[in-house]
Chains A and B, each alone.
Chain A
Amino acid sequence: MVNLEVKLSNLRFKNPVLVASGTFGWGIEYNRFFDIGLLGGVIVKGLSLNPRQGNPPPRIVETPCGMLNSIGLQNIGLEKFVSEVLPQFDSIRTNLIVNIYGSEIGEFVELAGRLNNYKQIAALEINVSCPNVKAGGAAFGKDPEVVFVLISSIKKVCDKTIIVKLTPNVTDIALIAQAAQSAKADAVSLINTLTGMIIDTKTKKPFLGNKFGGLSGPAIYPVGLKMVYETYEKVNIPIIGVGGIYNADVAVQYILAGASMIQIGTANFVEPDISLKIIEGIRRYLEDEEIDDVNKLVGLAHN
């Protein structure tokens, strides 16, 4: 038997496979396809203090081996999340991670402080990287000093595990990861989507209602992989790899590059139960390679 269990701060995960924010709804929707309790953890849709409408349609378009989205963090807001979604997690046996977003530091801090009261929540993933919102969004995640101040402030009001989700739309992602580490973040996840656009040659105008969108899907995995590899050499806190993972082989590549855990995003839309297959695929890989513990795989691509 191989060990798939991983630890992050004081949390235990039954396996290293999480599902990425914005691609798994509020989690419970996927119960129609499989028992989401089998996952290492569930990261729910980006949550803000107040409900957000999101961006004008059209919001998605397919690209070669990927997609562009400009959802703009549409969500139901804290109050409804707490009254309608959270209670459903009483009976779900996996770690619930809430991805949060604020348009200014004060909003992030208030949200983190209020979520700290709920026992169903294992960790917060701080989204400083959404490319689809004007205020805050990726602008936060591009400045190491802002990241430091933001995460330090959140740590003061919230004692849950704090994961910082980074944007790839920067010159040096490791620098931002270091800022998160200095602010005592428990982990970093990378990457969020890459900014991109599509122009409709019939109308001769940008296709998306918001003009630009975030690129995700298999097309981006070599980019995410390189960023995880690079960051692994610069920080000591765990890295959670995300970006284009669509099978166990790519998941294993992320772990070899230095990710302690991985997240499945866009692939959930195409195959709702893909994360279960990837858990099994990782297990099989370890058996075939005669490695008894997934933790022994982390970072092996570095010499």
Chain B
Amino acid sequence: MKTIVLNNDQVAKDTYYLQLQVPEGFKYEPGQFLMLKINKLNEPLLRRPFSIAKVDETIDIYYKVIGLGTNILKSYKKGDLIDFTGPFGNGFDLRNKRIVLCGGGIGVAPLIGLKYFLDSKNITSHCFFGFNSKEDCFVDFGEIATLDGSLGKKGSVVDLLEDLDNSFHVYACGPKGMLKALCELADRKGFSMDISLESNMACGFGVCLGCSINTINGYKQVCKDGPAFNYTEIIW
């Protein structure tokens, strides 16, 4: 399906904010993602997965420029048509506990949508976000940690969660190292947690079986069984 680019601006270091027109009948749950077709020729061939950060008057996506596809994506301009499939994936499973959102880097993106959704239901949530440095930060709410100390607390966002106990439920997304550290913390502190994972994807809707990850229940597909998983399920 095609839709119109309404905005595609840089908002932090190598980070862009893409807004798309909401096509008629478009429905979404926090945690889901779109597959964007960025190429017009055959390279890059495959679509690229991006979390939906928010849907309101527009579909909002935050993305980090890292390779071929995202380098082309940043050249899209207001008024251009872009082809997408989705939304795909299971949304975050909502728990009746004290809610914490914990994001690292561009992994903050899917949590923005969750925060917005919780707010709309008058559910309180506490947000903790971590970045390498001030220039990487693209959110204006939540408690921030930066590795170099240029914004918020110096250190990893994982350090900000030291006070949690088993009355909390955490929704997390970010780089692998951060998620692994969070899993260890969760084991120690006893809080429950869902984590949103990434994997290379070809289709995005469960037919190529390419995006598998290893879980205690065998291989699962990130695109269809996830991207959010209960952390106790994952074998790293």
Seen from chain A, the residues whose Cβ lies within 8 Å of a Cβ on chain B are: 22-25, 29-30, 32-33, 45, 53-54, 56-62, 64-67, 69, 71, 74, 217-218, 246, 266, 268-272
Instruction: Please give, as numbers and ranges, the residues of chain A lying within 8 Å of B85 by CB-CB distance.
Output: 33, 272
Do B206 and A57 touch (CB < 8 A)? no
Q: Does B25 contact A (CB under 8 A)?
A: no
Q: Does B46 contact A (CB under 8 A)?
A: yes
A67 with B207, Cβ < 8 A, contacts A58-B199, A61-B200 known: no
Interface size range of chain B in the complex: 20 to 34
A58 with B200, Cβ < 8 A, contacts A29-B205, A71-B209 known: yes
Do A56 and B214 touch (CB < 8 A)? yes
Alpha-carbon distance A22/B206, docked complex (angstroms): 11
Do A74 and B208 touch (CB < 8 A)? no
Do A57 and B219 touch (CB < 8 A)? yes
Q: Does B155 contact A (CB under 8 A)?
A: no
CB closest chain-B residue, reference A247: B42
Seen from chain B, the residues whose Cβ lies within 8 Å of a Cβ on chain A are: 37, 42-47, 85, 199-203, 205-214, 218-219
Alpha-carbon distance A57/B43, docked complex (angstroms): 24
Do A64 and B43 touch (CB < 8 A)? yes
Instruction: Please give, as numbers and ranges, the residues of chain A lying within 8 Å of B210 by CB-CB distance.
Output: 59-60, 69, 71
Do B206 and A269 touch (CB < 8 A)? no
Instruction: Please give, as numbers and ranges, the residues of chain B lying within 8 Å of A71 by CB-CB distance.
Output: 208-210
A65 with B202, Cβ < 8 A, contacts A53-B219, A60-B210 known: no
Do A270 and B214 touch (CB < 8 A)? no
Task: Pick 15 A–B contacts, CB within 8 A, sort by A.
Answer: A29-B205, A29-B206, A33-B85, A54-B209, A57-B219, A59-B209, A60-B201, A62-B46, A64-B43, A69-B210, A74-B212, A269-B202, A270-B45, A271-B37, A272-B85
Alpha-carbon distance A257/B98, docked complex (angstroms): 65
Instruction: Please give, as numbers and ranges, the residues of chain A lying within 8 Å of B201 by CB-CB distance.
Output: 60
Do A74 and B44 touch (CB < 8 A)? no
